[in-house]
Structure 1
Amino acid sequence: MSEHLWRVDPRSAHDDGADFRVDSHRRLRGPYTGMGTLLRELVPDVQSRWPDLVRSHSIEILSAAPELTEAIGAAPETLTSVAIPSERTRIYPANRTRRLAHGVVELLESYAALADRHLVLSFTNVDEADHTDQEFLAIAVRRARSGRVRFVVGTRTDAVVEELAEALRAHADREDVVNPPADGPVRPAEELVRAFVAGDCTSNDPHELAAYAEADPVVVAALHDARAAELADGDWSLRLGALLHHLEHGGDPTGVGGDAMLDAANHCFDMGFYHSLLEYVPRGRAITDPEEQQERYWLLTTKMTTGLASLNRSLESLPLYDELRGRYTLPMVHMFCSYAMAMLYTRHHPPEHKDHHQAKILLNNAVAIASVLPDPEQRIFQTVFQKNGLALVETHLDNLPGALKLVTDGLARLDRELDPGKHKLHRSVLVNNRSKVLGALGRYEEALADLDTVIGLDPNYPDYYFDRADVRRKLGDPEGALLDYATATTLTAPFYELHYNRADVLVEVGDLEGAIAELAYVVDLEPDQVDARLNLVSLLLDTGDLDTAAVHLAEGLRLHPADARLVHANGLLALETDDRDLARKEFDRALELDPHLVAALADRAGLAHDDGAHDAAIRDLTTAVEVDPDNPDLLYNRGFVHQAAGHLAAAVDDYTRALVLPGADRDELLRQRSLCRDELVDAR
């Protein structure tokens, strides 16, 4: 029996034995309708008993259920979270929602363990849930494996996002509920319409749906207005769901409805809920007159384009920017479009569509517009902001000195011409960007100084510690890097890149067990991270834990059966168990998938050499050297095989080539070359 249950029930009934019953229909509260509802019910009890547990997950809790701020206190503030809209110049990455979901799963598991209880959590209407909730449940069903937390996922149909469907198929038993035909008298049409609106239009009762569709629009609008008035003083998150829906369909959809839609879009934009944003914006544009309500229309549109870019759908943004540029002559619209399109060409587009020179042209246009804005503060700030974007383009064009000058001059201008209390967030962004350019120039001490400064300005922003750890590693301070990584973990929801990098540092300092634990956590968070899994398997093989290595390889190959590196690693595992035939087959298969995989070429050559098949070994090593000509180990190995085969001159040539390369084992190379030369003399 699986840990969880997938119940397909057209009535969307709850599990009678559940400890918490949650309706996930996104029309109720929008993003995190389900997860937020669960937290609103559960967290007060956790707060009263284990406040430290709540504090460690406050970011996740308050992102999904902002109403709990009064009960648990605010999350750690950053310049990003407190910036006023006109000064906010940083957006969250699209994977932030995954981090939030991981954090809540760990909160639930920790709570169940501390309370020594088993939780059964019933979520219904999941096929109508927002992407955030479906993503959360996909992660929860996959990761909640202790047996203490059981999820019952109720859907009316099979229509859920693929990640959730895959998790349910793998980790949940399925139960299809067959409902008897509904009986009883049909209610009057007026009663059906009232019931549908009173239920916030989430019912799938066919009679209610039909009556609502056929009702007088004036009557329907009045019902929506009345329901909106009932909800107006309720929880804040209703503005993203039920209240928003009723205002959208009430008596003033283009007025209060459109304003509410822009507010909802702004919230999703600020929180990184980009899938939700892409649902709200088309609805908002539909109730906004592009001529009479120009500002709302273009603000909604630009929110959508940014959401598309964040979700790797940047090419879909271009027609929307063209629409705005063709429709309006407003300087702010053209400046924003020029900047945003430049970011598409230099950062967001797929590689084959990037064009850094086109990005520079667009940014020069944005700078030109910014420099003539009538408001002095806007003129100064926007000019510096656009030139910061230009610095990114110059970096991509390998003009690092030019990028450094743009950022440094921008900081100096803000300090010189604006009040110190203005645009604190962007000042910190500029200092951080300057540290990145200094690091790219190899000026690590200066980069470190800038990161120290920006952490002083914004001490609760985790990415700065992540960046400083990287600089400290380059300066030969792994212990300092580990301290920064440890601090970052206390300021963010689970962030797999952080643990991946920390594992690298732990290997540097010789803590292999710690590195294995970090990498195991990474692949638990995100199983499709192949590099992390390969590093984990390598460490497990090095430490002799073959059984665990086999488990991780099996999971990796299940997810990525055609990944040559995983197939090669399976061959290494076979070698560790002395199954040379299987190892050879796996190396062959890896090279069928990727004929230039150097590690597989080298290892297959090693087997051939052991078998005395020197020509085959030399062929593989020659291919490997062609792929990686500056690898001294490959040249040494080929020289060694040449030497064993009696090709002494070729061996001397390989040893000599290897000697001048970085990382070469000079003593061993000189020794082997001397032996070859002695043999050549003897032969002559």
Structure 2
Amino acid sequence: MNTITIDADRRLRGPYTLAAALLDALVPAALQHRPDLVAGHDQEIRLAAPHLGPVVPRRERTLAERVSQAERILIPGAGRTLRAANGLAEFIRDHLAQAGPLRVVVDNLGAADPTDVELVGVLRRRVPAVLLEVVEGEARPRGGALRADYDRYRDEGFHHAMAEAGLEELRDLDHDDDPERWWTLLHRTAAALVAIECEDAARDLYEQARRVSTEPVHRATVACSIATLLVRHHDPARRDPDDALAWINEAITITSLLPDARERAFHLGFDLNAKALVEVRLGRPHAAMALVEAAIELADRHLGPGEHPIHRLVLHANKGQLLANLGRPDAALAEYALAIDADPGYPDYYLDRGNLLLKLGRLDEAEADYESAMRAGPPFPEPYYNRAEIRYARGDLDGALADLDYAIELDPGFAPAYVNRAGLLVALGRLDQARQDAERDPADPYLLCALGQVEAAEGRPEEARKAFEGALARDSRLAAAWAGLGALDFDEGAIGAAVAGLSRAIELEDTAEYRFNRAVALKAAGRAGEARLDLVRAAVLDPDDEDIKAALTA
């Protein structure tokens, strides 16, 4: 086994110091023997080791790579580095499977950037030890400040590095010495602190800016940023949409008065879009729609055809989400198409459109969008989780299970996948494994519901009822729990209670399965006419289900 030693101290190269050195050792050989493998992971390799860009084949440039700094308003979220770590792990695993095993001694792991710490965890979890052994070496960190590569930190979503380096410089930088640099650095640092869930520290910076700056655009940006913080705080108990509304109105008041039409169109449109989010949190989707449409109209009227393309695609994507929630799917699909056409390399909007297509029963199109999201960049769990639902609906239980297994492998903290996998394992009769998933978090109502399914399948109705009722105590709108109770009531001969439980489930989520089960209960109650209506509706919801066809024929 070959051995290499790498110094992971973040002060050498910043984020992905370890990853870049590891890629330096592996990519040249991979380019010789598996150029397709390198090309298949070009985004994550370029992200971690930008100096390798000239030799790494590029699949497609994203819109963000083609616009100016001022137009790069869509900053990657905190989860992007996990996607990159998974992509790098798969590249390293597949390369070493051909090139042979490797031992990596990592010096100064304790001084590594969080991106490298995360990568080491993913490598140890996902690359077999027979191929890669990562061990900790010496600890002699060099100390000093992190290099100030602010554009890279902001653009690539390296939020910890942006926060660390930004705070360090802000300690010695006075607003009056260089107002624009001070403002840009403060704004980027505060945004990074929000991304890493340090909202109190971010708020302190915003308040500092309010005490110092009198520039209208800057004050409006601070007000908008505080409003967004208040509706997106990582702790739901600290969200305050009413206070956010006051802050975003202050921002809009300022940007509405900007004298330059083009500057006003962009900044006011940005603030209107932010207010739409506040209105959504306040339960007013129609008001949110009007705001987004006003922002689009501003852009169309006052910005040039190629100006601020990312701002425009975000507006169209947000309009698509609102239209979908307002029950206008065709219009929503048209908006999603505009966003995707503007940047085919951005995966998340494929996911949003796929979810809408799935709700509409257009499974082939939804599957195509999920697979486009899979191809667009490093792997992440959501498209696999959603494709599993399509595979399950088609009766491909093994394929659905493989997708859910992979989703959990990519992110062991992705709770929804455990819920669906537990239910699928129940359907496959693998109850011990289903129980392991269902008991992962006893406070999660969805997992409690899955546990109820396990208990029912194992013939323990009292324990199943306790689990379903526990789920409803935490979330009274959980349709699967109501359906589970209805099934238990039916088995115990309480037909009226069964109909009531299944009716409540259908009110919350109208599915073919719930309609079919209520039809069975209604027939047992002597209500054959109502039962047939449920079967007719079930056939509309799932026209390929053989049990529904047989029941209708009978």
Q: Same fold (TM over 0.5)?
A: yes
Are 2:420 and 1:420 aligned? no
The 1-side partners of 2:6 and 2:491 are apart by 67
Question: 1:120 matched to which residue of 2?
Answer: 103
In the aligned structure 2, how far is the partner of 1:551 from the partner of 1:671?
35
* Aligned-partner Cα distance in 2 for 1:40–1:629: 51
Q: Verify: 1:102 aligned to 2:86, yes or no.
A: yes
Output the CA distance in 1 between the equivalents of 2:162 and 2:341.
33
* Structure-1 residue corresponding to 2:278: 393
Matched, 1:474 2:359: yes
* Corresponding position: 1:92 with 2:82: no
State the partner residue of 1:335.
220
Aligned residues: CA RMSD: 3.3
> Counterpart of 1:437?
322
Counterpart of 1:54 in structure 2: which amino acid? V
Partner of residue 5, structure 2: 21
SS state at 2:525 partner: helix
* TM-score (ref. length: structure 2): 0.85
Please tell me whether the aligned partners of residues 320 and 333 of structure 2 are also in contact (alpha carbons under 8 angstroms).
yes
The equivalent of 1:597 in structure 2 is: 471
Who is 2:545 aligned against? none
**C-alpha distance in 1 between matches for 2:481 and 2:115:** 47
Q: For 1:123, what is the secondary structure of its paired residue?
A: strand
Alignment deviations for residues 65-104 of structure 1 (CA, whole Å, 9 cap, x no partner) = 0011111144522222333121222111101111111111
Match of 1:669 in 2: 521
Structure 1 residue 32, shift from structure 2 partner: 0.6
> Which amino acid counterpart does residue 151 of structure 1 have in structure 2?
V
- Tell me if 1:315 matches 2:167: no
Q: Structure 1 residues 443, 652: closer, same or farther in 2, change over 3 A? A: closer
Question: What residue number does 1:191 align with?
Answer: none
Structure 1 residues 404-445: Cα deviation after superposition (integer angstroms, max 9, x where no partner): 222222222222222112111111111111111111111111
Aligned CA distance change for structure 1 residues 136 and 300 (closer, same or farther; 3 Å): same
- Aligned: 1:376 with 2:261: yes
How many residue pairs match? The answer is: 520
Query: Which whole-Å deviations, capped at 9, do the CAs of 1:522-543 have from their partners, x for residues lacking one?
Result: 1112223333123223222322
Residue pair 1:655, 1:669 contacting (<8 A) in 2 also: yes
Tell me, what secondary structure is at the counterpart of 2:105?
Answer: strand
Q: CA deviation at 1:624?
A: 11
TM-score, with normalisation over the residues of structure 1?
A: 0.69
Q: 1:37 aligns with which of 1, 6, 21?
A: 21
**Matched position secondary structure for 2:373:** helix
Give the equivalent residue in structure 2 for 1:679.
none
* Mapping of residues 262-341 of structure 1, within 5 Å: 264-341=149-226
* Contact 2:6-2:18 within 8 A present in 1 as well: yes
- Which letter maps to 1:129? A
Deviation at 1:487, TM superposition (A): 1.2
Match of 1:638 in 2: 489
Contact 1:127–1:155 (CA<8 Å) still a contact in 2?
no
CA contact (8 A) 2:425 2:433 kept: no
CA distance in 1, matches of 2:279, 2:442: 40
Equivalent of 2:62 in 58, 73, 78: 78
Question: Among residues 113, 122, 129, which one is paired with 1:130 in the alignment?
Answer: 113
What's the offset of the Cα at 1:551? 5.4
Against the structure 1 CA distance between its residues 529 and 654, is the aligned structure 2 distance closer, same or farther, given a 3 Å change threshold? closer
Q: 1:145 aligns with which of 109, 128, 133?
A: 128
Change (3 A) 1:139 1:597: same
Q: For the residues of structure 2 that align with 1:534 and 1:626, how far apart are their CA atoms?
A: 16
User: In structure 1, what is the Cα distance between the partners aligned to 2:302 and 2:109?
Assistant: 53
* Identical aligned residues as a percent: 31
- Tell me, in whole angstroms, the C-alpha distance in 1 between the residues paired with 2:57 and 2:434: 40
Amino acid of the residue matched to residue 127 of structure 1? G
Is the deviation greater in 375-384 or in 481-490?
375-384
Tell me, yes or no, if the aligned pair for 2:421 and 2:437 is still in contact at 8 Å: no
Displacement after TM superposition at 1:370 (Å): 1.4
C-alpha change, 1:560 and 1:438, in structure 2 (3 Å) is closer
- Structure 1: which amino acid aligns with 2:378? A
Q: Which amino acid aligns with 1:69?
A: G
Distance 1:655 1:321 in 2: 55
What is the match of residue 220 of structure 1?
A: none
1:142 and 1:670, CA in 2 relative to 1: closer, same or farther beyond 3 A? closer
8 Å CA contact 1:266, 1:303 repeated in 2 = no
Shift of 1:567: 7.6
Structure 2: gaps (5+ residues): 508-513, 528-554
> CA 1:390 to 1:269, structure 2 compared with 1: closer, same or farther past 3 Å?
same
After the TM superposition, which residues 524-563 of structure 1 pair with which residues of structure 2 at under 5 Å, given as runs? 524-544=409-429, 546=430, 550=432, 554=436, 560=441
Partner deviation per Cα, 1:640-664 (whole Å, 9 max, x = no partner): 6365xxxxxxx55764786696544
Would the aligned equivalents of 1:625 and 1:634 in 2 still touch at CA under 8 Å?
Answer: no
CA contact 1:570–1:586 (8 Å) conserved in 2? no
Partners in 2 of 1:567 and 1:413 — Cα distance?
48
The answer to whether the 8 A contact 2:350-2:370 is kept is yes
Distance 1:551 1:112, change over 3 A: farther
Q: Is the 8 A contact 2:454 2:464 kept in 1?
A: no
Written as runs of structure 1 = structure 2, the 5 A alignment for 1:452-601 is: 452-544=337-429, 546=430, 550=432, 554=436, 560=441, 596-597=470-471
Structure 1 residue aligned with 2:31: 47
Judge conservation of contact 1:36–1:65 (CA < 8 Å) in 2.
yes
In structure 2, the CA distance between the partners of 1:531 and 1:654, relative to structure 1 (3 Å rule), is: closer
Partners of 2:272 and 2:294 within 8 A in 1:
no
Query: In terms of Rg, which structure is larger?
Result: 1
Label 1:641 to 1:94 Cα distance change in 2 as closer, same or farther (>3 A). Answer: same
Of 58-67 and 353-362, the range deviating more from structure 2:
353-362
Letter in 1 for 2:415: V
CA–CA separation in structure 2 for the residues paired with 1:674 and 1:294:
79
In the alignment, residue 471 of structure 2 is paired with which amino acid?
L
Stretch moving more, 360-369 or 29-38: 360-369
Q: Distance in 2 between matches of 1:28 and 1:553?
A: 47
**Range moving further from structure 2, 36-45 or 144-153:** 144-153
Q: In the aligned structure 2, how far is the partner of 1:423 from the partner of 1:306? A: 20
The answer to whether the 8 A contact 1:18-1:122 is kept is no
Tell me the SS of whatever aligns to 1:290: coil
Answer with 414-423 or 349-358: which moved more. Answer: 349-358
Distance 2:493 2:297 in 1: 62
Q: Aligned residue for 2:550?
A: none
| Superposition deviation, residue 347 in structure 1 | 2.1
Between the aligned partners of 1:434 and 1:626, the Cα distance in structure 2 is 27
Aligned partners of 1:142 and 1:541: how far apart in 2?
27
Matched letter for residue 366 of structure 2:
A
Query: Who is 2:46 aligned against?
Result: 62
Structure 1 unaligned spans of 5+: 1-16, 157-200, 205-223, 225-239, 245-260, 602-622, 644-650, 676-684
Q: Which amino acid aligns with 2:266?
A: F
What CA distance in whole angstroms lies between the structure 1 residues aligned with 2:448 and 2:96? 39
The residue type paired with residue 431 of structure 1 is: H
Per the TM alignment, residue 568 of structure 1 is displaced from its structure 2 partner at its CA by 7.7
Q: Distance in 2 between matches of 1:520 and 1:89?
A: 34
- Which shifted more, 350-359 or 480-489? 350-359
